[in-house]
Structure formats: C-alpha cells, structure tokens
Amino acid sequence: MNSTRSRRMRNATKHEVYIKRFVELMVCTFCLAVTVPGAHSQAKSATPARDETVAALLVSDIHFDPFLDPARVAQLAAAPATEWGRILSAAPSADREARHAAMEKACPTRGEDTAYTLLESSLQDMRKEATGSKFVTVSGDLLAHSFDCKYKAAFPHAAPGDYRAFVEKTLTFVVEELRRALPGTPVYVALGNNDSDCGDYRLDAHSEFLTSMAQEITKDVPVGERKTAEETFAASGSYSVRLPAPIHRARLLVLDDIFMSGKYATCGVKPDTSVAGAQLAWLDKELTDARNSREKVWVMAHIPPGVDVYSSAKHLDEVCSGKGPRMFLASEKLAEVVARFSDVIQLAVFAHTHMDEVRVLKSEGTGPGAAPEQGVAVKLVSSISPINGNAPSFTVARVDTASAMLKDYRVFSASNATGVGATWHEEYDWAKTFHEAEFSPYGVGKEVAGFTADPSGDKQESRDYVQNFYVGSSSLLGLIWPQYGCSMANDSAQAFRACVCPTTK
C-alpha cells in the first residue's frame, strides 16, 4: 500500500517536472520570438505569399449591326433572340449589296459597325485568349450607330412598341453570345449612349425598356443581390454586384452615365438632371458602404469623365481664351466622387472613344507633391467595332485576388474589319511595354507624368502609347500629343486649361 502510494507520488512529481519544463521551453521560445529583431518577419519571409491573379475579359463598343443584310431583318424581328444565330449565319441574300446601299443612303454613317461574322470571330478568339476568366465586363454601346434610323428604313410602318422589342432582342442576343462564348462566366454590362429604345443619348428613367432589360442584364448577379440589382437597374441602369471568388471582398458598381451627358434628353427630348443627381447619390452611398465594410470596388460606366480632348483640340483658342474645353459629361461631379473614394476604388472602367486609353483621376488640388498612390487608375477599353478605321480589339486583364487591383492586361486585335478569315494577335502587353508591375494609380500616374513631360512625343514609351492608342496603328494622336497628355491627369476644365495654357492666369 505504502509502496504503491510512493510510486504514484514519484510519477506525479515526474509529471509536474515535465509540465514545468514544457512551460519554460514555450516561454523561452516566445521570448526569443519577441526579443530577437526580425525573428517573426524572417520566419514569414521564408515562405513568401504568392502573388495570385485571375483573368478577366474587358469588352466594349461592340456596336453590333443586324441590318447589314437588310433582307434578313424581317426574319430577325419575327424570331426570338435564341434563333438569331441560325438566321444570321445563313448565306447572304442575293440582293444584299443593293439593299445595303439603299439603307446606307437613308442612314449614312462614317463606316461599318460590327457584322455577325466579326462578332463570331471575336468571340472565337475570346474563347481562346480569355479562357478561365472569372468575369466579363462590357462597358457599353452594344447597338450599332444610327440603329433607330436603320430600323425605320427597314420597317417604315412598324407599330408602336415594335422598335423597343427589336432593341431588346438585339441586346439580349449580344449578351447571350458572350455568355455562350465563356460558359459559366458572369457577364456584367453597362449601357451606352446608343443602347436605348428611343435614340442616341435618349432614355427615360423608370421606363418599360429598363424594367424589361433588368432581368437579362442582372442574370449573373448572385441570387441574394439580384432583386436589388433589378430594381436599381430599372430605375436608372445602375446596379451593384459582388465580384466572384476567388477575388476577395470586392464589388463592381455599374452606371448608365448617359444621364450625366450634356447631350442627354428624355425620350420626349426634354432635359432632366434629376436622374444624374440620383445616380451620384446612389454611387456615393455604395462607396461609403464599401469603405465601412472594407470592400474594394471597381466602377464601370460608358462615357468617361474629363476632357473630350479631340473636340477641344479643334478649338484650342477657345480653351486658352477662357471659354474652356469640351467635356464628355455635363458636370465634373462623377470625377469628383470617384476621386474622393480613391482609398476604396481600385479601378474605373470606361470606353466610348473606341480607343485604348489610360488615365488617372485625382482630387482637385493634388498636385506634383501629392502622394503617388493617391488617385484612381482609369482604363478606357477599345472597341470591337471598326467604324473609326481602327482594328477590332478586346482586352484580357489579370486581377489580383486579394486586392482586386488590375495588375496587367493584354490587348488582342483582328487582322481585318469584317471577321471573315480574320486572325487575331496580341497588340501589346501593358506591363511589358511600359515596364510597370501593376496598373495602379502610382504606375499609371508615373507614365502619365512622363508623357506630359515629353510634349514632342519623342521618347519610346510615348511612341508606344501613340501606336497602341489607335488599335491597328496610327499617328493621328501625335498631332495633338501635348494636349492629350494634359487630359490624362487633368480631368477638370480648370486643370486642363492650366496645363495646356500655362501662361493663362
């Protein structure tokens, strides 16, 4: 009995010693970790975090034209959008050329938009180059130029409501073709100034058109967010959507900023600024909520804020004499809101010019001494439509999964404007061409500062930008290079005027 008790006491003593030594060892290890400088960081650096990115496809200004074979238009109008591919892929009508010439005479345009053959050629190459993309953005103008005029020429006695139905079917066909090209990949669409049921730069808020299109446009919004997205789209073409995994805590805010354009009018051709104000209030609230919940944001709309440098360059005397430059939007409020949330917004995506462009938006007063990371990087996506003589193109991006930052992108362009027998190739790679590790406000701002400091456009990076701006190569931008450089980081009329006219008081 006593011996058994003695053994138990000895075992308990040994057990206590083991526990005591274990605790001492753990304490010493902890002390070493906190007292040796850099011990913790050295341990972490032994297994560095991986820089993980995913692909995303950026498309814009498709301007699909279903009227290029006028004999087929009646079939399209009578068929659901699901049947359009079969109709459009049939052999051309015998009198196609004559009918097309008559339509061009009735509705003259500066060139041809996207034919079905070009649309399918671009989708085929997207399947090749953008496979594995986590999402697709379409930054507006899915419909061809002069769409309403061409419809009236094809159907001079159409009943009320028929035009809206045809517009809706055309938009649905284009969006569904994108979804078919990349199955299972969400497609997020912003409407452009041509995407309306009542004409270019014409649209009614809270309309039957927006309500009808809401379900199609928000189809890829997660179920829990879809009802709200449908409601905000039906009101003004705006919606919010969480970006898909593995992108972490990030969302996309989409606006139809036709309502902010100086050219905007209702379908009744009346001015209305109330919708623009409501959109800006919605955007401010969404960004505030994102800031509070520590989410990162992409903002997408069709028409970029800032200076329309092409129109302004034609009237440079007016810019410097005090009248000011031509602006894309009616006010500078969109740029102000975006710049104010530069801590939240990782990227702003626009289009409209059909060119491949970059810019940086900064709050007024952030001059050369401001922190380089201040501001918002802006990407203007080039067009599928070759109407301006440019090569059709699309962009494949790499997005950081942790920060939602655009790290890099590549632009792909077609060998011809029709898509018939076209081959596609890489036009350029942002990171390789401009030697930047990421498409951040710092990286873009540094490039823009270099362009502004090179008014003659002689440096290699300036020449590269000029060449790639007009996809397919053109020297036209070189004619207004100093003014263009000023527009890239000076989005307000006052800042642009000070840059272009430095002697102006």
Statement to judge: residues 229 and 293 lie in one domain = yes
**414, part of any domain:** yes
Selection from 378, 414, 417, 418 nearest residue 393 by Cα: 414
Whether 37 and 60 map to the same domain: the answer is no
Paired residues of 300 in beta bridges: 254, 349
Please give the sequence-ordered ranges of beta strands (E in DSSP) within 233-361, or none if there are none. Answer: 239-242, 250-254, 296-300, 345-350, 357-361
Encode 73-90 in three state secondary structure.
HHHHHHCCHHHHHHHHCC
pLDDT for res 51? 63
Q: How high is the pLDDT of residue 46?
A: 39
Quick check: is 505 in a domain? no
Check whether residue 130 and residue 29 sit in a common domain. no
Preceding amide of 368 cis, omega within 30: no
Given a cut of 90, is residue 147 above it in pLDDT?
Answer: yes
Q: Is the pLDDT of residue 468 over 70?
A: yes
For 125, the token pair is 């190459």
- Residue 84 falls inside a structural domain: yes
User: What would the pLDDT profile of 49-58 be if each residue is shown by its tens digit?
Assistant: 456 999 999 9
pLDDT band at 321 (very low <50, low <70, confident <90, very high): confident
- Check residue 478 and report its DSSP letter: G
Do 14 and 151 sit in the same domain of this protein? no
More confident residue, 503 or 31: 503
Say whether both 362 and 227 belong to one domain: yes
Helix, strand and coil content of the chain, in percent to the nearest 5, comes to 45, 15, 40
| Per-residue model confidence (pLDDT) at position 16 | 45
Lowest mean pLDDT among 316-330, 361-375, 488-502: 361-375
Residues 16, 159, single domain; the answer is no
| Residue pLDDT, tens place only, 391-422 | 999 999 999 999 999 999 999 999 999 999 99
Q: Is residue 41 part of a domain?
A: yes
pLDDT for 160 equals 82
Position 93 in a domain: yes
Same domain, 28 and 157: no
Q: Are residues 181 and 39 in the same domain?
A: no
Q: Binning pLDDT at 50, 70 and 90, where does residue 373 land?
A: low
451-489 burial, b for 16+ CB within 10 Å, e for fewer? bbebeebeeeebeebbbbbbbbebeebeebbebbbbbbb
* Domain of 142, in residue numbers: 53-500
Q: Is the domain of 36 the same as that of 121? A: no
The answer to whether position 74 is within a domain reads: yes
Note whether residue 353 is domain-resident.
Answer: yes
CATH number for the domain spanning 352: value is 3.60.21.10
419: its two tokens: 């898509």
Question: What's the pLDDT score for residue 316?
Answer: 79
One domain for residues 22 and 68: no
User: What Å distances lie between residue 106 and 77, 148, 275, CA to CA?
Assistant: 20, 12, 34
Give the residue-averaged pLDDT of 164-175.
98
pLDDT digits (tens, 9 = 90+) for 442-464: 999 999 999 999 999 999 999 99
User: What value does the mean pLDDT take over residues 147-163?
Assistant: 95
Domain match, 39 and 166 both: no
Query: Do both 252 and 339 map to the same domain?
Result: yes
Q: How many domains does the chain have?
A: 2
Does 418 map to a domain?
yes
Q: By mean pLDDT, which of 364-373, 446-455, 460-469 is the weakest? A: 364-373
